[in-house]
Structure 1
Amino acid sequence: MDLKIVLVILAFLVVSDCQEEIEEESPELHPLDGYFNNLLHPDWGAVDTVLLRKSPPAYGDGVYTMAGQNRPNPFDISERAHRSNIQASLGSVRGRTAMQVYFGQQVVEEIMDSQRPGCPREYENIPVPKNNTLYRDSEAFNSATDTVFMPFPRSRFDQRTGQSPSNPRQQVICCTYNSHILIVFIYLFIHQSRALRGHIH
């Protein structure tokens, strides 16, 4: 092959490659800390800001203690909803119950996270019912009192809140990616997620 033709082909490839790099780097991407998703309120939903609520918090004492002391035990609810006997449970007849739970968790982790523990850590003890499989198998089983508790970590909160009914505890957003559902926990930050953040179609 003629040397001039080879040089022309190489020059074309180099220019094309440079052009692709310029096109990839040109769009301004949404920040991953949640700032400026809303131009009128740039700090809405941003990391280390107070979690926005649709309704006021409903603590047991109106300030910071966990509510639900008179509600059904969460272990009983889970057992009822997910037991293998479909006729006796609320499980999906199409086998979608578990899928919906995990998909919902992925969506929540994508757009908001307020469940990381604070410092110092706080725990609530959730009683394990005697009919639950974890009851006898648990290392936390106390034969003297015949009880088992599962520790539940309380979420991180704004230290300036939780002091009175007029200033109840407010959770803090610990991580937010942006307004797009990128499923980065599964696919990581690949070219497609960059395209979504840069509004490239």
Structure 2
Amino acid sequence: MTSDQRSARGRPRSEDARTAVLHAVDDLLVEIGYSAMTMKGIADRAGVGRMTLYRWWPTKAHILIEACVDDAREELGLDDGTDAYADLPAYLDALVCFLTSSTAGLAYRALLGEAQHDQQVATLVHQHDLFAASASRVIRTATGAEPGPRAVAELVGPVLYLVLTGRQPTRDDIGALATTFLRTHTADDGAAQRASTARSSSRPASRRARRSPT
């Protein structure tokens, strides 16, 4: 059952309280890390009651995944009508920034680590795919085909691998990944070359003004 379903059965959630809770998990994640974070600590930092917190979210992982979903939707979206072959490296650049420079990305990486030994968190991460919608959209624009899960994995997976193994992907890495993807999924070698030289567009900051991890 999702947090939205839980709240629908009880008192409607206050958006101000929800925002305070999401900011609280951001701050605590940076300050003390995922393992030391508790529901009591989140409630105290947000200024809400623990019963209220548990009524809306059953665990801290549910709060973090909701925060991640919100920010991924904003930070990884692409404007309509842009150049398809500039979009692909721009998307990968935004993905790198999300994973390495935002608190939401730090939260998602913490959840991925926790998912390796906590089946409940693993199920939660599986149920909330942060990248499928945005990656599918940019693939559809660039290739003209309807992407499946494998195509999404081939686009997003290499960036995740580089980040999770401690390497900061460079602009050259992004261009090479975009080129390889297009050569695999289109017959237009010129398109791949344009992707490799396209400059990534700037990305808007999250509306919740998340603090970058230090």
Question: Which of structures 1 and 2 has the larger relative contact order (alpha carbons within 8 angstroms, sep 6+)?
Answer: 1
- Higher share in strand: 1
Same fold (TM over 0.5): no
- Higher share in helix: 2
Q: TM-score range by the shorter chain?
A: under 0.3
